[in-house]
Amino acid sequence: MAGTSHSQPQNDRTPLDHSAGTTRTVAADVKRASEDLLVINTVLEQELPEELQVGDVAQAIEHTGHLEKKLAESAESLAQVHEALEQEIEKRKKVTAQRDASQALVEKLSTNDPSATSGN
């Protein structure tokens, strides 16, 4: 979904807009960290001879592999949260517009304006 929150001035942003922006930023950061860790892990596995991949070194290599997978999963979860926030923002904008239109109609009717019921 397109990020409509970026077109709004900073002071018009709702807490949900702010949260959506934050999740987008954090998800991108986590994804980059995951990709960087994948590169590091790959280099360690390929560049270190098998005979050096023992003990603490082997554990470090294994640990970076687990961390990379965990970061990739976290990035995906954050992307899903961001999408849910964007959908909620759009839903709330529509509901707010409908509420405002209804409120305007109620105010128009309460002033006994004859044009309110004629559709003008």
pLDDT tens digits for range 4-21 = 444 444 457 788 888 888
Residue 88's pLDDT is: 92
Residue 98's pLDDT is: 97
Q: How far apart are CA 116 and CA 52, in angstroms?
A: 83
Q: Which domain holds residue 36?
A: 15-86
Give the chain's mean pLDDT. 83
Task: Report if residue 4 sits inside a domain.
Answer: no
Residue 5's pLDDT is: 41
Q: Give exposure, 65-103, as e/b (b: 16+ Cβ within 10 Å).
A: bebbeebbebbeebbebbeebbeebeeeeeeeeeeeeee
Question: Is the model's pTM score more than 0.85?
Answer: no
Residue 25's pLDDT is: 92
Under DSSP, the state recorded for 14 is: -
pLDDT tens digits for range 31-73 = 999 999 999 888 888 888 888 888 888 888 889 989 999 999 9
Phi, psi (deg, nearest 5) at residue 103? -65, -40
Task: Report if residue 69 sits inside a domain.
Answer: yes
Residue type, 22: T
Q: What sign does the dihedral 1-11-14-77 (CA atoms) show?
A: positive
Task: Report if residue 7 sits inside a domain.
Answer: no
Hey, what are 13's tokens?
A: 């942003």
Task: Report if residue 48 sits inside a domain.
Answer: yes
Check residues 41 and 98 and name the one with the higher pLDDT.
Answer: 98
Q: How far apart are CA 106 and CA 98, in angstroms?
A: 12
Residue 3's pLDDT is: 42
Check residues 28 and 10 and name the one with the higher pLDDT.
Answer: 28
Domains in the chain, number: 1
Task: Report if residue 82 sits inside a domain.
Answer: yes
